Structure formats: C-alpha cells, structure tokens
Structure 1
Amino acid sequence: MIEDLNLFASQLVTLWVILEPISHLSMFLSATSHLDPQQRHKVAALSLCFAFLILLVFTLLGRMLLQAMGISILAFQISGGIILFFFAMTLIFVERPHRPISVNPDRSLATLAVYPVATPILAGPGAILAMVLFSDNNRGAPLSQHLLTLGVLMLMMSVLFVVFWLGDYIAKAIGESGASLLKRVMGILLAALSVNLVLNAFQKWLGLPEI
C-alpha cells in the first residue's frame, strides 16, 4: 500500500510539473482566443481526449519503439533527463514575452484541438518521455501499478480540463505575477526530477548504491 502511494505521488508530481496547468492554460487561451466560450470548452474536451490517446500509445508501445531503434532505456532516460533539465532552466530563468499563437480562424474545432493544443502543447516531448519511463519502471510489476499509472494520467487530464474550462476566471484571479511565480516553482521541481532521472540511470548502469 505504501509503495503504491509513493509511486502514485512520484508519477503525479512528475506529470504535474511537466503538464503544469497554469503555463499550459496561457498557451491554450492564446490558441483559442478567437473562439467563444462554448467552442473553447469543446476544444478543451477534444484536445484532452486526443492528448490522452497519444500519451497512452507511447505508454503502451514506447519501449517497443525504442527497442526497434536499438536505443536502450538508460540512454533514453539520460538524454531525456538532460532535455528536461534545460527545459526546467527556461522555466526558472527565461522570461518570454507573451506572443499569441497564430491560428487560422477558419479551421475546424477538431483540427484545432489536434494541433496545436493536443500536440505539441499537451502531448509534447516532456510528457511523452515521462510516460515511456513510467511504462519501463512498471515492467514486470503487478497489474495494479500499470493501472495506477493510467489513473495518474487520467487525473492530470481531468485537472487540465477543469483549468481550461475555468481558464478566463483563473487567468484574471492569479494575474501575470502569480503565473510567473508558479512557473518558477514548477521549474525548480522539474530540475530536481530531471537530475534524479540521470543519477538513477547512472546508478543502474554502473551498479552503484541506490541513491
């Protein structure tokens, strides 16, 4: 029971800092700024369904794809940890001016939900990496741990849906300074998690004591 709770907390924190709801909310609002609230809600539902399916596919087939390409999971973990670390540094130190995402207003809602909202905004490299690593860590584990990982993903999609649904109210409530603070806190957590990924990979590779 305690092991399952630790696994749940670890995976939830990892996905939370990668899919940080407030940062993704600003990108979602930018991509759907030309829509009315009802259309925006429909795009939110569709995009989260598409993102869930994309991440589910990589959870189930990610390791097989790596094996087919001759890439070891440790190499993938090290490279992914380095990429996530640099991404975390941009969250902490880089102040990017807000630029609206260019979207053709004549596109259908389903097309808009697929791109750019579902991918690359939601199901981007960081989220795909996390789900592949989760599936590898669960390899040979009881079915309950696989279901737990699926539950974490569904929970994060539900949280994002609520945030997107209430997007206008949340953006007004926290303001730019609140969003900036949350982004930096998430960056610090993501930096620590990325370093832990790299250290764990080296620990397994070199047979060092557990960190």
Structure 2
Amino acid sequence: MLDDQNLIVNQFFTLWAMLDPISHLTLFLGATSELERADRRRAAVMAVVFAFFILLFFGIAGQFVLHAMGISLISFQIAGGIILLLFSLTMVLGEPHAAAKSPLEPAGTALSTAIYPLATPIIAGPGAMLAIIILTDNNRFTIPEQTVTFAVLGVVLAMMLVIFLLGDGIGRLIGRGGTNVLRRIMGVILAALSVNLIINAFVEWLHLPAA
C-alpha cells in the first residue's frame, strides 16, 4: 500500500511539474484573448481533452516507437532526464517575459484555438510527451501501475482545466509576480526529479546497487 501511495505521489508531482498548469495559465489567457468568455471556456475544455488523448497515445505507443527505431529506454531516459533538467533550469532561471514574447496568437475560433496552440504545444508539448513515456516504461511499471499513471494524468489535467476556467480571477489574484514565483518553485522540483531519472538510468545501466 505504501509503495502504491509513493507511486501516486511521485507521478502526481512529476506530471504537475511537467505540465505546470499555473505558469501555462498566462499562455492560455494570451492564446484566447480574442475569444468571448463562453468560447474561451469551450476552448479550455476541448484543449484539455485533446491533450489527454495525445499524451495517452504517447504513453501507450511511445515505447514501441522507440523500440522500432532501435533506441533503448535507458538511453531515452538519460536523454530525457537531461532535457527535463535543462527545461527545469529555464523555469528557475529563465525568462520572466517569455509569455509576452510568445509568438502564439489566437486562431479566432474555440475549436481551432483548442487544437493549436492550446492542446499542443502548450499542454501536450515535447516535455510532457517525454515525461509520460518515461512514467509508463513497460520494463519498470506493470499495467496496473501504468493505469494509475494515466489516472493521475487525468487528475492533473482536470486541475489544469479548473485553473483555466478560473483564469481571469486567478490572473488578477496572483499577478505576474506570483506566477513567476510558482513557476520557479515547480522548476526546482522538476530539476530534482530530472536528476533522479538520470541517476536511476545509470544505476540500471551499470547494475549498481540502488541508492
């Protein structure tokens, strides 16, 4: 039971740090700025649903794609851990005005905006795809454990949807400074998780005793 709880907590914080709903709120507000309030809410719902199925596909088929390309999961985990670490460093040290510089522009309709840029690349970006593949590794996790991961993904995305739906009020409440602080906190957590992924991969590769 304790192992199951640890798995759920680890998956939750990994996916929360990777998807980072709070910092993505500014991108959501920017991408939907020209939509009416009702269309903005519909775009939020559709974007989260589309992103879930995109990540579900990568969680189920991603490892098979790697196998077909002759890429070992250990290599992918090390590379992925480095990429996640670099991404986390940009969250901690990165650009405070990244959202303002974003080239993303509203597409004009709820559906088109939900597909691009909300579902991808804002929500289901390369980092999130990478994280879900690693967290559903067939060699490390059983089918029930992978099912738990997808359930946790659904919970995190549901929380993201709530944040998006409450976006106007949250944006006024925490302000740009609060968003930047939260982004850096999640970046530190993601950096620690990334280092852990790299260490675990080397432990498995070199057959070292677990730390």
Name segments (4+ residues, structure 1) moved above 6 Å: none
Matched, 1:123 2:124: yes
Opposite residue 115 of structure 2, the aligned amino acid is: V
What does residue 45 of structure 1 align with? Answer: 45
What does residue 99 of structure 1 align with? Answer: 101
What does residue 76 of structure 1 align with? Answer: 76
SS of the counterpart of 1:114? helix
With over 3 angstroms needed to count, the CA separation of the structure-2 counterparts of 1:149 and 1:179, relative to structure 1, is same
Q: Post-superposition shift, 1:134?
A: 1.4
Compute the RMSD of aligned alpha carbons: 1.5
What does residue 32 of structure 2 align with? Answer: 32
Opposite residue 130 of structure 2, the aligned amino acid is: L
What does residue 155 of structure 1 align with? Answer: 155
With over 3 angstroms needed to count, the CA separation of the structure-2 counterparts of 1:54 and 1:105, relative to structure 1, is closer
Task: Answer whether contact 1:138 1:145 (CA < 8 A) is retained.
Answer: no
Task: Answer whether contact 1:203 1:209 (CA < 8 A) is retained.
Answer: yes
What does residue 178 of structure 2 align with? Answer: 178
Q: Distance in 1 between matches of 2:140 and 2:206?
A: 21
Opposite residue 17 of structure 2, the aligned amino acid is: V
Q: Distance in 2 between matches of 1:80 and 1:65?
A: 15
With over 3 angstroms needed to count, the CA separation of the structure-2 counterparts of 1:104 and 1:91, relative to structure 1, is closer
Task: Answer whether contact 1:138 1:146 (CA < 8 A) is retained.
Answer: no
Q: Distance in 2 between matches of 1:190 and 1:210?
A: 21
Q: Distance in 1 between matches of 2:111 and 2:93?
A: 35
1:55-82 CA-to-partner distances (Å, cap 9, x unmatched) read 0001110110000010000010000110
Which blocks of at least 5 consecutive residues in structure 1 are unaligned? none
Q: What is the aligned-residue identity percentage?
A: 46
With over 3 angstroms needed to count, the CA separation of the structure-2 counterparts of 1:14 and 1:137, relative to structure 1, is farther
Q: Distance in 2 between matches of 1:185 and 1:196?
A: 17
Q: Distance in 2 between matches of 1:100 and 1:140?
A: 37
Q: Distance in 1 between matches of 2:43 and 2:139?
A: 32
Q: Distance in 2 between matches of 1:13 and 1:45?
A: 22
Q: Post-superposition shift, 1:139?
A: 5.2
What does residue 135 of structure 1 align with? Answer: 136
SS of the counterpart of 2:101? coil
1:129-153 CA-to-partner distances (Å, cap 9, x unmatched) read 1111111157562x43222112101
Q: Distance in 2 between matches of 1:29 and 1:2?
A: 39
Task: Answer whether contact 1:31 1:101 (CA < 8 A) is retained.
Answer: no
Q: Distance in 2 between matches of 1:7 and 1:137?
A: 15
TM-score, structure 2 as length reference: 0.94
SS of the counterpart of 2:96? coil
With over 3 angstroms needed to count, the CA separation of the structure-2 counterparts of 1:20 and 1:163, relative to structure 1, is same
Opposite residue 33 of structure 1, the aligned amino acid is: S
Length, aligned pairs only? 209
